[in-house]
A = this chain, B = another copy of it.
């Protein structure tokens, strides 16, 4: 599947040479998992963000918010992140090296299996055994997480081999205790030193800090932008004139204190994400614009298929996928389609894009269904967008914790007569009887479901008393304390907690995948790298090249560059002394789609040449014409094919493209 000639280190050199991004703090020795974006990467990212905003926020009048990174601990306790947003780590007992436990087990066992393969091959006289690579579909999924472990050529017993394979297939299911058992049972050591390892300990992946001068208010750097959106739900619903469904959106920095970050931009400690929280009626997950996407064909990898041990892709339209229940509902289907369209606009190769459904054991603690848009790169299939159904999880837990109603109240078209159990608390006796616990007990009673109330009522009716357990303590209740009666009420309002469909974009991962997808070498020449970004995301749209340092060009360049800026066409002027050909090559590496060359003829007749990056074809027209063409090209309202069909081709001077 992946191109065997793909040479990642060459791409990495280009990325560094043209300063797309680089390890942060490199002059201080660097810090793993932190990267700085240089001028090209920063412009690329900012264009991707602008495209995202146009594609999602503007297109659907989403309510974009910008909430704080610093988050008090209480919020993330409620959301479950303090307890569950963690990985297991273990330490080399002697040198203190730290490993993420599951990655370590994976790496060691895979190395042993590889050693076994090589040993068997050697025994049978085979010349060469391929190392498993990211192109192997069975291992591709997890390729990005692995740190290579030394391969020792030793044959395994059949039962060992089977056990290792079984562990690897289930690795995502294991918590600390299981990993501890595996490490002990299979004698896993610190790979480099051979030392023993400590038992896996849980390590929370949030960066913590302290807010204000007291030292008593603990805070975390947010691990996602979602919580800020949930906390503002009430204000947003009101802003939306109480209409449902609606979506909020947020673009911003989030943090994840990885145990041992690797794989470049794919696993970092600080990253820019873009998240949508689409609030929807749990009883009606249709989408008014579903028809816009229903005919889009997607590469799908449903959970069911994976459970059968296969990674075979099902290609089907979104319409069929929803109709057949492969994708649960129209809103989820709608967003899968919109995500697809966005990624294609960015420049992702559609053949290297699939949508994989999470298996139940790998879902985040808040999700009830999740499809990942995975993009294929030299690291394997990488999750770049998650599209999770978080159900009513977050709004429910925050409402419960803060006693703030986070619900939608909907006027019913027709009033509804319903029959239900109604609880009344006899305040007169309740207070004196339960004293300081009165409120707690009352709250617990009020929170009971219909079934819970029925059980209490049955007990009261049978034995005149019942009890409720609150926070581990039983409280006895009699008919004097409470009454539970069946009543008929007419409801005019339906009150419900919305469900949330959450498309969540890891923009750095998309950016890296894009770099791999658009990179190629002209004429297979190692020195002629091209990055074929679509114009709309290209870091610069246009490069201005005066033929030489001759001062007759200076006013022309200044004037032209001023006119380009007035049209918001981002421009890089390259007036270095290198030849035009060298400069074309340099700007191909920056992925600049169009170059304008100013030469002596320009000074005479006001014409310039316009060259397109991928085809290297040129036209030569008056500056006014070229400006208009450039504006349309950079906004992608015309294609280059259309341009060359309209204006006569211009032959470059010999040697220009060398």
Residues of chain A having any CB pair with chain B under 8 Å = 18-19, 22, 24-28, 31-32, 34-39, 41-43, 45-46, 53-54, 58-59, 61, 63-72, 74-75, 89, 96, 98, 203, 207-214, 217, 219, 221, 228, 231-232, 234-236, 238-239, 241, 248, 252-253, 255, 257-260, 269-270, 272, 398, 402, 404, 565, 568, 570-574, 576
Contact = CB atoms under 8 A, between A and B. Distances in A.
B212 A36 contact: no
* Interface of chain A, main secondary structure: mixed
Contacts of A65: 36-39, 42
A27 B227 CA distance: 12
6 contacts: A22-B235, A36-B66, A39-B239, A58-B570, A69-B253, A252-B253
Contact of A211 (B59, B66, B257, B568): B257
Nearest to A402: B27
Given A27-B398, A36-B66, A213 B568 contact: no
B214 A28 contact: no
Contact of A36 (B68, B211, B219): B68
Contacts of A573: 61
Nearest to A572: B61
Interface hub of A31, A36, A66, A208 (most chain B Cβ within 10 A): A66
A270 B221 contact: no
A250 B252 CA distance: 15
Contacts of A42: 64-66
Nearest to A574: B241
B211 A209 contact: no
A359 to B, nearest CB: 27
B36 A228 contact: yes
Given A25-B75, A25-B231, A46-B53, 19 more contacts: A19-B239, A22-B235, A27-B404, A28-B402, A36-B66, A36-B231, A36-B232, A38-B65, A39-B64, A39-B65, A42-B65, A69-B270, A70-B269, A209-B209, A211-B257, A212-B257, A212-B258, A241-B574, A253-B253
Contacts of A66: 36-37, 41-42, 45-46, 272
Contacts of A239: 18-19, 38-39
A212 B32 contact: yes
A396 to B, nearest CB: 13
A221 B260 CA distance: 20
